[in-house]
Structure 1
Amino acid sequence: MDNVAKYLHPYAYAPAYQKRVAYFCMEYAIAQALKIYAGGLGFLAGSHMRSAYALKQNLIGIGILWKYGYYDQVRQPDQTMGVLFQEKIYSFVEKTDIRFEITVNRAPVQVAVYYLPPQLFGTAPLFLLSTDLPENSYIAQSITHKLYNADKSTKVASNILLGIGGFKLLELLGYAPETYHLNEAHALPLVFALYEKYGNVEEVKRRFVFTTHTPEEAGNEKSDIRLLSDMSFFSNVPVEQVKTITKTEGDTFNHTLAALRLARRSNGVSRLHGSTIVQKWSTYSDISPLLYITNAQNYAYWADQYLYNYLQNGRDEKLVARKKKLKRRLFEEVADQTGDLYDENVFTIVWARRFASYKRADLLLEDMNRFHSLLTDLNHPVQIIWAGKPYPMDYDAISVFNQLVHLSAQYPNCSVLVGYELKLSKLLKQGADLWLSPPWLPTKLPAPVA
């Protein structure tokens, strides 16, 4: 095995961040060239890794090197959305000689480890696991082919790889985390590996913290507990013991609920979301304290420094000129993709997120007369841009995307873009005058714990 010391931090830890933390996430949006992410979960994880580097934190990341990424969003001949799975090749991701074996579905699976050097993009050390090896069966290789594979067994296998594979990697590295942080419940098998090691729920709770991202039912996985056990999701912990420590009744295993019960504390990703998770989960017994930590993105990566300097120094003319320049950069992309020529002097509205029903990309279409008036008002002109990648098997969301594409053909100041990844997201954020975010909101929310 390589000298593992060279894979750890290239900096001395800041006094405030000496604690060893292992961060587990199914996706990381680090750079446009590294396509191992789908949406907001990855955007947050990528910013965490960049910020950990800037703050000199004793943190390392564990993820998966997806052979085909999430998918490439392309256009069909009629401009509607197409899905392309294309192999990704990264000469800058370093293949280590660290190898080990995990058990999936009662069979041995070989795991290779890749490493993203911190200096490349200014991140904390990031290790990426892969089963795409010739000595594995094709089924085992496919575990790391597609992010969020639609096949249930493959999805469970990727969870096992991330959680138990990540645990084994840390043991091999000799990096003994004081805290294991799961960004969503995908890596939950890690917790059962910890339980198997320590034999005590309290020891697990002392080490485990959890971030949950969505109260939506579809975003909180449920599985047949027998299927999970057969696939080695719980390591060697018997099903009845799993039920006892997670307080699971029946044979339906709720991944998020189990994480909330085994963590020492859990958090939502904004104050409002903190209130929402309190409403959703606090009626269950033995839940960890539910806090909120407002979602933040890495300022150095996302912000236009000139724009903020002009804003902070009261240089209004420079501020306006810079904003127009950023809008022109965005409008070049709009013109290239759609043939629509936008005006930098016109108020520009952007809706850009992962397409999902509760995020309501089509809310503006609820009143078509009003929408038409908005887009044809010559006295108060606007321009509207939509962008986002639906889950590739979410045909309802793809239908909404295509509806917007057909609608945009009727208006030269209304456009729908494909390829909503880091590069396009940055153009949109810096070029928008208004960022539109109209998700469904719950009512009668309790206050979260600060």
Structure 2
Amino acid sequence: MQPIRTFNVSAQLPPALEPLRKLAYNLHWDWNVETKDLFRRLDRDLWESSRHNPVLLLSTISQARLAEVAEDEGFIAQMERASRQLDEYLKERTWYRKHRGTSDSNECYAYFCAEYGLTHCLPIYSGGLGVLAGDHLKSASDLGLPLVAVGLLYQEGYFAQYLNADGWQQERYPINDFYNMPLHLERNPDGSEMRISVEYPGRMVYARIWRVQVGTVKLYLLDTNIEPNSPYDHDITDELYGGDLDMRIHQEMMLGIGGIRALKALGIKPTVFHLNEGHSAFLILERIRGLIQEEGLSFAEAKQVALSTQLFTTHTPVSAGFDLFPPDKAMYYVGHYAGIFGLNKEQFLALGREDTGDLQSPFSMAALALKTSSLTNGVSLLHGKVSREMFHGLWPQLPMDEVP
């Protein structure tokens, strides 16, 4: 049955407890002991059952309990301390402000990743890549870096595991309720949802933009589970690393191309772009397109401008871990950029090929990122050595230890 309208019902905060809302929607609480203890003090059982989600806690706690703590002088004093700590944190003179002052107020660094491990109640991560990305955002906030981050908001995220009655490991995909998570839906001045669109073969796919406040850092997440998208397109942001090869390229187009368009819709103009793994590498195509069509640059000029402001971090120690798309599939989904760039098929595919002389060589997202970034790093000295061996074919004229 198709619902006529969906409502979200939550408890009404007494005026004296209004600071709790501000505290709940900034993930600063995740690494602030005072604030985390404050929410646990509200209702310990609800705090645990909500996976430490203060927004869900405030939505489901009883009105009687809220009225009780609104009269508790000790609780009010702790809440006011936590609120002051957040205010002071957001205004403090950070490392960046001390060393860069206000002279570089237009600087903005954009960070792209397929997953972010920020806190238990935002299950949009699966492992080390996401946890590292989450720590990057928290560290950037502590340092005061002018960073914005971009990702996808998964309806089911990554699976949760359990043991069945026979002792076998099973998985399930909990449905994320975005309205009861520390997320803000971005809106236009008229109150309507802010949306972006991306061209897919034969259709446009739309996404709305959610924001997570991580201290001073904003993380923007795209969500395609909306009308007028088809049921298939709803699933683009359904599962982290789910689906087949076609779904993977759908997700990576939305992350890279859609992510650039989301920043533009928000009025954000980054000076540097950082790709945390190759999943978002399609963003380079959209950046070059914009420089050609909107700034009047040639392809060679646009590529050089984009390359000079792009960084790439690779984490994968084996070639099998990188996304590879058959040439015809890559052309089917993103080949329309070739015409904009003034390139033929083979010239375009060469942007993502490790072996440009092999016309059957797949389109590699890692190769695309490496060829279009001015700086590349791994995650350790040993990983750097392994990566140089893996990608020596991109620079066969260089000695192994000089592969960038």
TM range (shorter): 0.5 to 0.7
Query: Which residue is equivalent to 2:173?
Result: 85
What is the aligned counterpart of 2:123 among 29, 35, 45?
35
1:14 to 2:123 alignment:
no
1:240 to 2:377 alignment:
no
**Partner Cα distance (1:15, 1:250) in 2:** 52
Query: Which residue is equivalent to 1:55?
Result: 143
Q: Please, which runs of 5 or more residues in structure 1 have no aligned partner?
A: 1-6, 291-445
1:225 to 1:108, Cα distance in 2 relative to 1, 3 A:
same
CA offsets 1:422-442 (integer angstroms, 9 cap, x no match): xxxxxxxxxxxxxxxxxxxxx
Contact 2:109 2:272 in 1 (8 A): yes
**Partner Cα distance (2:350, 2:402) in 1:** 28
**Partner Cα distance (2:147, 2:331) in 1:** 31
SS in 1 for 2:240: coil
One-letter identity of the residue aligned with 1:107? R
Report percent identity of matched pairs: 28
Contact 1:261 1:286 in 2 (8 A): no
What is the aligned counterpart of 2:212 among 103, 110, 116?
116
Query: Which residue is equivalent to 2:229?
Result: 136
SS in 1 for 2:275: strand
**Partner Cα distance (1:176, 1:96) in 2:** 17
1:184 to 2:267 alignment:
no
1:27 to 1:57, Cα distance in 2 relative to 1, 3 A:
same
CA offsets 1:244-296 (integer angstroms, 9 cap, x no match): 44464414112212211111111100111111112221342289x99xxxxxx
1:257 to 2:367 alignment:
yes
Task: Point out the more displaced range, 42-51 or 83-92.
Answer: 83-92
Contact 2:351 2:367 in 1 (8 A): no
**Partner Cα distance (1:37, 1:109) in 2:** 24
Q: Please, which runs of 5 or more residues in structure 2 have no aligned partner?
A: 1-25, 27-88, 188-193, 292-298
**Partner Cα distance (2:383, 2:314) in 1:** 9
SS in 1 for 2:136: helix
**Partner Cα distance (1:285, 1:181) in 2:** 22
Contact 1:180 1:208 in 2 (8 A): yes
SS in 1 for 2:217: coil
Query: Which residue is equivalent to 2:41?
Result: none
One-letter identity of the residue aligned with 1:192? L
**Partner Cα distance (2:284, 2:164) in 1:** 43
One-letter identity of the residue aligned with 1:88? N
Give 1:215 deviation, angstroms: 2.4
Provide TM-score, normalisation by structure 2. Answer: 0.65
1:204 to 2:306 alignment:
yes
**Partner Cα distance (2:216, 2:264) in 1:** 22
What is the aligned counterpart of 1:269 among 379, 387, 401?
379
What is the aligned counterpart of 2:200 among 89, 104, 107?
104
1:28 to 1:123, Cα distance in 2 relative to 1, 3 A:
farther
**Partner Cα distance (2:403, 2:324) in 1:** 27
Number of residue-to-residue matches in the alignment: 284
One-letter identity of the residue aligned with 1:104? Y
Query: Which residue is equivalent to 1:74?
Result: 162
One-letter identity of the residue aligned with 1:94? H
1:16 to 1:150, Cα distance in 2 relative to 1, 3 A:
farther
Contact 2:392 2:403 in 1 (8 A): no
Contact 1:68 1:146 in 2 (8 A): yes
CA offsets 1:50-83 (integer angstroms, 9 cap, x no match): 0010000011000111000011112122222111
Contact 2:395 2:403 in 1 (8 A): no
**Partner Cα distance (1:65, 1:233) in 2:** 26
Query: Which residue is equivalent to 1:173?
Result: 266
1:283 to 1:45, Cα distance in 2 relative to 1, 3 A:
same
Contact 1:51 1:123 in 2 (8 A): no
Give 1:106 deviation, angstroms: 3.1
Any residues of structure 2 matched to 1:22-421 within 5 Å, and which? 22-90=110-178, 91=180, 92-97=182-187, 98-118=194-214, 122=215, 124-198=217-291, 199=299, 200-232=302-334, 235=337, 236-237=340-341, 239-246=345-352, 248=356, 249-251=358-360, 252-285=362-395
SS in 2 for 1:259: helix
SS in 2 for 1:47: helix
1:117 to 1:189, Cα distance in 2 relative to 1, 3 A:
same
Contact 2:90 2:216 in 1 (8 A): no
CA offsets 1:115-148 (integer angstroms, 9 cap, x no match): 1123xxx361100000000321001100000011
**Partner Cα distance (1:245, 1:131) in 2:** 28
1:78 to 1:14, Cα distance in 2 relative to 1, 3 A:
farther
1:115 to 1:284, Cα distance in 2 relative to 1, 3 A:
same
One-letter identity of the residue aligned with 1:96? E
Provide TM-score, normalisation by structure 1. Answer: 0.59
**Partner Cα distance (2:99, 2:283) in 1:** 27
Contact 1:201 1:245 in 2 (8 A): no
**Partner Cα distance (2:313, 2:336) in 1:** 20
SS in 1 for 2:186: strand
**Partner Cα distance (1:282, 1:169) in 2:** 35
CA offsets 1:356-395 (integer angstroms, 9 cap, x no match): xxxxxxxxxxxxxxxxxxxxxxxxxxxxxxxxxxxxxxxx
